[in-house]
Chain A
Amino acid sequence: MNLTNFTLKEASKKLQSKEISSLELTTAYIESSKKLKPLNIYITETFEQALKQATAADTRYSKGQPLSPIDGIPIGVKDIFLTKGIKTTNASKFLSNFIAPYESTVTNNLLNAGYVCLGKINMDEFAMGSDNLSSFYGAVINPWVGEDKKERVAGGSSGGSAAGVAAKAFCAALGTDTGGSIRQPASFTGTVGLKPTYGTCSRYGIVAFASSLDQAGPITRTVTDNAMLLQHMAGYDNQDSSMKPFQTPNYASKIGKSIKGLKIGLVKEYLDVSLPECVKKNFNRAIKFLQEEGAEIVEVSLPRSKYALPIYYIIAPAEASSNLARFDGVRYGNRAKADNIEDLYFNSRGEGWGFEVKLRVLVGTYNLLHENFGKFIHATKVRRLITEDFSNAFAKVDAILTPTTNSEAFPLHEKVNNSIERYFSDFFTVTANLTGLPAINIPMGLSDNNLPLGIQLIGNYYEEPELYQIAYMLEQKADFKLL
């Protein structure tokens, strides 16, 4: 029995009962990861260190003193989290030699819980992208191959994390989500990905893309796994001044509870969005499943939701251009050849980043210029209106159901004529980032091409337990077959 077939929950149980050891488990995942090299999941492998961590975990288990239910579990960490002493590149040439001098709060929490870090995982450069094609280290390939046998993207920006979970390179993975970067790749790879409520996971030690939108979250095979991992990622951190103090609940506490009587919202304005048949079919399946389990389907209206994507493309680049101003090659990062200080900035920033990043920084700079600032402020006002729409909806329902994304995973080598089209991949996901609401992707079914399709549940603030409750039910009903 290949040990990589156990879910996180199963592996945890077997570790506690000493049926398996963390060393065995970690070794199995290392072997698996090596075989999966063509998928280009890893940027930096930390296998030696992982084995040491596994051994330490085993010592704790043998004494009956595990640090947590995820003690000894091998996990992949998106290369956007600073991990002390380990190269942290953000998938960029700019940071290709950067050794993190400190540990991010989220990964520190996981270290305290005894996790085994298998490595730093591939992603879109600086988390900007929906296909993991922009990485300095090359594209990630989706382990799922459709009927047409074309290579597929894993989605982005947490493409490597999602692909790795799906392909069983690791038991679970960390991702970050700014406009859908956990949920969309989860949808493309048939995995469970959650973007928690904004302010749930500390952003300290995560390379910032868009400060008011970024949020770390777990990518796993199952809903239960997801809750187990979130439990040790989340928590108030006073180093992050954008977090409000809060008590982490027992995230898994409502898993398995009946959803009878819960109200699930369907967005009136989304009904007319043009979607491929299989996506619609999949979505309707989800509705049916929820009704079968006793949930009530309620129509809600989000009148301004159609503006979410455009305002995201004003706000996110603007924040990014500001957060990326520190990358100048002076104190760290790859410094270009320069005889004068101006060239140092211009060349380092010009050479260190790929096209996508540069595009967004330029757009962002544009949006913040004095002459355009009015438009930026206008976008932030529309953001409030959209958030109001959602608040109104949540007065009537417990969760909102939408497709996660509007297609199956794109072919890897498809020429993109109109990038705006590609942006629509985030249509259903950006609202959760703009409003700060938690949202989760659950694999629902397959497209006509036999590629995964997911659906998204959006919950109310800090109501991840309720979200997991409904997600679990859907997961049970959908019975999606992992790879």
Chain B
Amino acid sequence: MSYLLTGKTAKWELVVGLEVHCQIISQAKLFSNSSTLFGLDPNSSVSFIDASLPGVLPRLNKFAVEQAIKTGLALNGTINLVSYFDRKHYFYPDSPFGYQITQFYKPIMENGSLTIELEGGTEKNININRLHIEQDAGKLLHEYHPNKSFVDLNRAGVGLMEIVSDPDLRSIEEVAAYVNNLRSLVRALGTCDANMDEGSMRCDVNISVRKLGEEFRTRVEVKNVNSVKFIQKAIEYEANLQIETWEQGLVVQQETKLFDSASGKTYSLRSKEEASDYRYVRDPDLMPLSLDANYVASLKESLPELPHKKKLRFINDYGLNVYDATLISSDTAYANFFEDALMAQDNKLKNPKMMASWLTTNLFAFLNKEGISLENSKVTPIMLAELVDLVESQVISGKIAKDVFETMWLEGKNAKTIVEAKGLQQITNTKELEAIVNQLCNDNEDKITSIKAGKDKLLGWFVVQVMQVTKGKANPEIVNVLLRKKIFGK
């Protein structure tokens, strides 16, 4: 099923490949021992190596390599047991060496893939060409001074994993799914926190268009797009621009562009001729990186359950619907909360679907309203488990439970405590309810006549009345049964 763009003269297929840069979670940088902490005083986590002073030499961080291997394995890639480090030369103030240490000729991982889910439940495999390790650049700040730009090298030298997909993406939906899945994956692994706002995950988008069945046409690279929304907008704009160009009989130029979020347009970078020849050459300061096959195998075994697999398990074992399964499995924190809550339940009639629903509908709503993350949730897994237990065992009704939840959130009290204090237990005593039903029916014979005549809707009125009398605590199912028995005799 392809998603086609309609031009003036033909239908066009979108072709997108992504190069995603993920900052490696590690305490120290890739080739030096300065800290990777975000938000420090400018130029305070910069070593002599990061500042590329004369005479310095790089030394590779073992843990950063491990993080990259784990990510490569999780992406089903082949880990190259021998890989090399190369220098990519370009001049820019945020690049202290005048080159970036990267892996051009032989990266640490090749031939991986990432599965994405599309609407309608279909799955698609996106091929990942390579994953390699490289240095991040420093930061240039332009707003602090009228004629100067400021250089902060705190970020220079932080390790990055560059994950390069094949141009397999064919729609904006696929692109969004790919980015989100990749985010989930690296976060689940703990190898990158994939925070696009903070820049720990950045995307370069390669966009081209073609008519169905054609070879690939020229692609344009849009660099450093830092949100899924902007990626989508950039693709939309650029693809349409390219279609216009082709349809006018002109040729799309291979260019590097940036995306301006304000205008929603892509625009060319000032052309730097020398930028097009990076003079990639082996870094003579670093010997090849050689990995032991057993070591790589043991890392593979140590991988946590990945989001995709977790999602399938939630659907198969817990019976969750696709939406809830996808959402909860997309983040390890959510999944852990969910499963911790399930485990904490007393109720042997555990209903995971109900728990999932409480989590995604109620808990998330409160988190979003207050703009806080799950780790700061005022309702813990144990507290939620207790509440769901009460609902599942029919001690309280679902409706009342919603109020109880709010109270739990606002006052931090346990569900049981709240229910007992407010006397919210559901009334299930048949005799008690029967008495109320009977009384109600006797007082409203005219309505009963109408119901028997066919106005079924009035049954609801009776239920509402019973609920009012019982302050919402009557068990609605039992009330319904009793009403029908009274009115219809069955």
Q: Judge A-B direct contact (beta carbons within 8 Å).
A: yes
Specify which of A242, A319, A326 lies most central, judged by the most chain B CB atoms within 10 Å of its CB. A326
Interface majority SS (helix, strand, loop, mixed), chain A = loop
Expressed in whole angstroms, the Cα–Cα distance for A102 and B56 within the complex equals 10
- Produce 1/0 per residue, A348-383, CB < 8 A to B: 000000000000000001001110010010000000
- Do B55 and A206 touch (CB < 8 A)? yes
- Do A208 and B55 touch (CB < 8 A)? yes
CB neighbours (8 Å) of A102 from chain B are 48, 53
- Do B53 and A101 touch (CB < 8 A)? yes
- Do A211 and B284 touch (CB < 8 A)? yes
CB neighbours (8 Å) of B96 from chain A are 326, 330-331
**In the assembled complex, how far is the CB of residue A407 from the closest CB belonging to chain B, in whole angstroms?**
31
The listed residue (A206, A325, A341, A376) touching B89 by CB distance below 8 A is: A325
CB-contacts of B254-307 with A (<8 A):
277, 279, 281, 284-287
Expressed in whole angstroms, the Cα–Cα distance for A88 and B55 within the complex equals 11
CB neighbours (8 Å) of A238 from chain B are 59
- Do A325 and B55 touch (CB < 8 A)? no
**In the assembled complex, how far is the CB of residue A396 from the closest CB belonging to chain B, in whole angstroms?**
29
Expressed in whole angstroms, the Cα–Cα distance for A368 and B89 within the complex equals 10
- Do A205 and B281 touch (CB < 8 A)? no
| Residue A10 CB within 8 A of the other chain | no
**In the assembled complex, how far is the CB of residue A172 from the closest CB belonging to chain B, in whole angstroms?**
22
Given A318-B281, A319-B284, A369-B279: A328 and B59 interface contact (C-beta under 8 Å): no
Instruction: Give the nearest-CB partner of B89 in chain A.
Output: A325
Q: What's the interface size class on A, roughly?
A: 35 or more
Interface majority SS (helix, strand, loop, mixed), chain B = loop
CB neighbours (8 Å) of B51 from chain A are 331-332
- Do B55 and A376 touch (CB < 8 A)? no
Q: Please give 19 more A-B residue pairs, beta carbons under 8 A apart, in addition to A326-B54, A369-B277.
A: A81-B55, A98-B54, A104-B55, A204-B55, A205-B56, A208-B55, A239-B57, A240-B57, A241-B57, A241-B60, A318-B281, A322-B279, A326-B52, A326-B98, A330-B96, A332-B54, A368-B89, A368-B279, A373-B281
| Residue A207 CB within 8 A of the other chain | yes
CB neighbours (8 Å) of A239 from chain B are 57, 59
CB-contacts of B352-387 with A (<8 A):
none
Expressed in whole angstroms, the Cα–Cα distance for A355 and B53 within the complex equals 23
**In the assembled complex, how far is the CB of residue B266 from the closest CB belonging to chain A, in whole angstroms?**
24
| Residue A90 CB within 8 A of the other chain | yes
Instruction: Give the nearest-CB partner of A330 in chain B.
Output: B93
| Residue A95 CB within 8 A of the other chain | yes
Can you report 8 residue pairs joining A to B where beta carbons are below 8 Å apart?
A88-B54, A207-B55, A238-B59, A241-B286, A318-B281, A328-B93, A365-B279, A368-B281
CB neighbours (8 Å) of A205 from chain B are 55-56
Q: What's the interface size class on B, roughly?
A: 20 to 34
Expressed in whole angstroms, the Cα–Cα distance for A327 and B51 within the complex equals 11
- Do B287 and A376 touch (CB < 8 A)? no
- Do A212 and B284 touch (CB < 8 A)? yes
Expressed in whole angstroms, the Cα–Cα distance for A322 and B279 within the complex equals 9
| Residue A345 CB within 8 A of the other chain | yes
Expressed in whole angstroms, the Cα–Cα distance for A81 and B52 within the complex equals 15
| Residue B87 CB within 8 A of the other chain | yes
| A-binding residues in B (CB < 8 A) | 48, 51-60, 87, 89, 91, 93, 96-99, 149, 151, 153, 277, 279, 281, 284-287
| Residue A203 CB within 8 A of the other chain | yes
Given A101-B48, A207-B54, A241-B286: A325 and B98 interface contact (C-beta under 8 Å): yes
Instruction: Give the nearest-CB partner of A242 in chain B.
Output: B285
- Do A90 and B54 touch (CB < 8 A)? yes
Expressed in whole angstroms, the Cα–Cα distance for A82 and B49 within the complex equals 14
CB neighbours (8 Å) of B286 from chain A are 241-242
Given A102-B48, A212-B284, A369-B279: A325 and B57 interface contact (C-beta under 8 Å): no
Instruction: Give the nearest-CB partner of A326 in chain B.
Output: B52
The listed residue (A241, A328, A369) touching B91 by CB distance below 8 A is: A328
**In the assembled complex, how far is the CB of residue B82 from the closest CB belonging to chain A, in whole angstroms?**
16
- Do B99 and A322 touch (CB < 8 A)? yes
Expressed in whole angstroms, the Cα–Cα distance for A332 and B55 within the complex equals 13
- Do A328 and B98 touch (CB < 8 A)? yes
Expressed in whole angstroms, the Cα–Cα distance for A203 and B54 within the complex equals 11
- Do B54 and A322 touch (CB < 8 A)? no
CB-contacts of A190-218 with B (<8 A):
203-208, 210-212
**In the assembled complex, how far is the CB of residue A345 from the closest CB belonging to chain B, in whole angstroms?**
6
The listed residue (A242, A318, A341, A376) touching B93 by CB distance below 8 A is: A341
- Do B277 and A332 touch (CB < 8 A)? no
Given A325-B89, A332-B53, A370-B277: A242 and B284 interface contact (C-beta under 8 Å): yes
**Which 4 residue pairs spanning A and B have beta carbons closest together?**
A325-B98, A368-B279, A211-B284, A212-B284
